[in-house]
Amino acid sequence: MKINRKLLILAIAVLLTWLPTLSRAQAGGEATTPSDKDQNGGAAANETNMPLKELMLKSIQVTNTVGMVLKKISPDLWAGVHEVTQKSYEKVMGANPSAFQGEARPVDSVNWNDAMDFCKKLTEREQKADELPKGFAYTLPTQAQWEQLVANASLDDAVMSLGTTRRHSTEPVGSRAPNSLGLYDTRGNVKEWCLDPQDKPYRVLRGGGWDTYIDINARLEFRDYSAPDKAKNDYGFRVVLEPENTQ
């Protein structure tokens, strides 16, 4: 029997449009890439309306209620795959202070207090909706956690102004290759606030930013010190989700 090739191609295309999405574990996530989807733990399509806490039992990568993709790093530690975007920040805070506007860009011009307030409000929002595992809360990574999350991130994939390159703004999150943990922009784009120390008049940012141009400032061990109420257009953050008693 002779098969009409054009009709066959059309039939396949129609079938593909009806294939179910992976789950809420990826649906609506911010700046996801094919590699993100491949690393999903495999929550079924009929679980798209399941609470985040249940998806976390089935998948190594999930998307929360404001579109932030979270990756399982250890049994009690989940980390943002991307730096917090302006889109997610505005959903929680109702405002966007960024100097470099773009919903897929990392939120910038936030101080440490702003970042902590974001974590607090997002935790309250998802606790109220019964989305989070009992006792879990969003917060900033400690410096030790940040050093774990940066993994093997290379300066070749960092949004910085090193060498002859001079940048004038941030880039959308996930524009470069991820590190070995599947996390993006752990070096460059915006400097990331860390949780500690909290007993000093300053706070610490790690990872360098879009305007980092001095080689020594791009080193993994480099720290930027700033007052908790100071904001600059290269200051941003990434969240972690973990039990409150570990914070």
| Torsion sign across C-alpha atoms 225, 79, 26, 179 | positive
pLDDT at 101: 98
pLDDT digits (tens, 9 = 90+) for 144-167: 999 999 999 999 999 999 999 999
pLDDT at 46: 37
Both tokens of 38, joined, read 């491949």
Tell me the Cα Rg of the chain.
19
Whether the Cβ atoms of residue 121 and residue 246 lie closer than 8 Å to each other? no
Whether the Cβ atoms of residue 175 and residue 228 lie closer than 8 Å to each other? no
pLDDT at 245: 75
pLDDT at 48: 61
pLDDT digits (tens, 9 = 90+) for 25-43: 444 455 444 344 433 333 4
Q: For the chain, which residues score pLDDT lower than 50?
A: 9, 12-28, 31-47
pLDDT at 49: 80
Closest among 41, 4, 47 to 23, alpha carbons compared: 47
CB atoms within 10 A of CB 204: 20
pLDDT at 22: 39
